[in-house]
Amino acid sequence: MATVKFKEASPYIQLQSSPPAEDYLYNKYLEHIALKSASRDDPIVKLALFGAGRAGTIHLTTILSNVRVKLVYIVDDIDSNWESMRKYWRLEDVVFLNSKQSDKVFQDPNIDAVIVASPTFTHENIVIKALQARKAVFCEKPIAENRSDTAKCYEIAKKVGKPLFCAFNRRFDPSYSEVRDRVRKGEVGHVHMIKTVSRDSPLPSIEYLKISGGIFHDCLVHDIDIITWTLGEYPDKVSVLADANIPEIKAIGDFDTVAVTLHFPSGTLGMIDLSRNSTFGYDQRLEVFGPRGMVRADNEHPIPGVRWQYGLRGTTTAPIWYSFASRFMNGYRREFEHFIDVVHGKVESLVRSKETLAVSKVATACEEAARTGKSVDLNWIPGELPDQ
């Protein structure tokens, strides 16, 4: 009886609350119910996908579920997979080509954009050919194997007036971008410490690692990007310790465990804890700390239940997401939608050329610090860094 006084009027009489902006999936659903979205008047963007491996399959599922685009070509060198892919994905109209036949894509005037998800060492050549053929380009990170080749790609993009988008997918993850928004609103004050934990799962094959470009340009770039994008600042000094606990990784001259510390001109410190092999799932966290508090993006669980165990043995939670394809699924979809908006000239690319080039420079400095055992100072020339 004590709570009767809190009884409210019928929810049918009271004003119903609208869904919160945070429920981006429900808000999208409302657009579908209302059959109303500004993007539905845009022309369909015709695409070619280069590479149908781990990353390519993520983009393929996104493309096939997106009504704003039409997939016309898949370029991949494992031609023994073509028929199974056609059957599995019902790709009756899609033309399959191997990389030697890829000029067909560049010569096809109907193709508006190219999605590059082939191995890193192939990116530069595909990106340049696609841009020269006046196609917009979405390219998996990194755009090229080093900073100067990346800069060359951006110069061509500028010359031909077509977008070159570098797929730093973590920026589009709802919880990571929320952390950035809160930091930029000043919720923690001037940042004293920013940290990421990035532990890969499953352990990639040695065949992949041999052509990955190494842990600094293959993995660490994601952390450098999310940290510098959150802070709007670039480090002036890095110190790195790295080792390979897995003999096969040591044998190819790469590392599987890396600890990075970054110093920023404003006094902020950064820490990155990186591993190639997390056996309990894809461990991805971001934490920002300052005098007014802390904001954090924690690991997410596919099934967020908690289990209480018999015999007072405590509780267990469900496992975290196993790998990038599941953990960042929403981020990949939002990233792709953003790219299509960029192609239509509706928005500026959220990932800017100066940012990608700066990330590459920091990754190279980190590799140098790890290999020499000495801290590396970073000097930035005027105009090299993006405006904030």
Ligand X SMILES: NC(=O)c1ccc[n+]([C@@H]2O[C@H](COP(=O)([O-])OP(=O)(O)OC[C@H]3O[C@@H](n4cnc5c(N)ncnc54)[C@H](O)[C@@H]3O)[C@@H](O)[C@H]2O)c1
Least distance to ligand X, CB of residue 231, Å: 21
Tell me the window of 3-11, 117-125, 158-166, 249-257 that interacts with ligand X (CB under 6 A). Answer: 117-125
**Residues 54, 129, 182, 237: which binds ligand X (CB under 6 A)?**
54
**Is 72 an interacting residue with respect to ligand X (CB under 6 A)?**
no
**Is 121 an interacting residue with respect to ligand X (CB under 6 A)?**
no
**Direct distance between the N- and C-terminal alpha carbons of the chain, in angstroms, rounded to an integer:** 57
Which two tokens mark 170?
Answer: 């973590």
* String marking each residue 203-232 x if it binds ligand X according to CB under 6 A: -----x---------x--------------
Least distance to ligand X, CB of residue 142, Å: 7
Which two tokens mark 344?
Answer: 């239509």
Of 172, 120, 171, 170, which Cα lies nearest the Cα of 150?
120
**Residues 39, 61, 122, 326: which binds ligand X (CB under 6 A)?**
122
Least distance to ligand X, CB of residue 276, Å: 13
**Residues 39, 61, 66, 99: which binds ligand X (CB under 6 A)?**
99
Q: Whose Cβ is closer to ligand X: residue 290's or residue 331's? A: 331
Burial of 349 per CB tally in 10 Å (0-12, 13-18, 19+): middle
**CB burial readout 174-197, b (16+ within 10 A) else e:** ebbbebbebbeeeebeebeebbbb
Asked if 299 and 285 touch (Cβ cutoff 8 Å), the reply is yes
**Residues 165, 324, 336, 339: which binds ligand X (CB under 6 A)?**
324
C-alpha to C-alpha distance for 250 and 239, rounded to whole angstroms:
21
**Residues 45, 105, 114, 117: which binds ligand X (CB under 6 A)?**
117
> Dihedrals φ, ψ of 141, to 5°?
-70, 150
Least distance to ligand X, CB of residue 194, Å: 21
Q: Whose Cβ is closer to ligand X: residue 56's or residue 290's? A: 56
Distant-in-sequence, close-in-space partners of 288: CB < 8 Å, separation ≥ 6: 179, 183, 188, 191, 193, 194, 195, 230, 294, 295, 296
**Is 362 an interacting residue with respect to ligand X (CB under 6 A)?**
no
Residue 317's SS3 state is: strand
**Is 86 an interacting residue with respect to ligand X (CB under 6 A)?**
no
How many residues touch ligand X under the rule CB under 6 A: the total is 24
Residue nearest to ligand X (CB): 53
Least distance to ligand X, CB of residue 74, Å: 9
**Is 331 an interacting residue with respect to ligand X (CB under 6 A)?**
no
Element (H, E) at 221: helix 221-231
**Residues 50, 73, 176, 289: which binds ligand X (CB under 6 A)?**
50
H helices of 65-210, where? Answer: 82-89, 103-107, 120-132, 147-160, 174-184, 206-210
**Is 280 an interacting residue with respect to ligand X (CB under 6 A)?**
no
Q: Whose Cβ is closer to ligand X: residue 268's or residue 353's? A: 353
Asked if 262 and 191 touch (Cβ cutoff 8 Å), the reply is no
Tell me the window of 51-59, 84-92, 128-136, 172-180 that interacts with ligand X (CB under 6 A). Answer: 51-59
> Dihedrals φ, ψ of 117, to 5°?
-135, 35
Q: Which residues of this protein are in contact with ligand X, per CB under 6 A?
A: 50-56, 75-78, 99, 117-120, 122, 140-141, 167, 169, 208, 218, 324
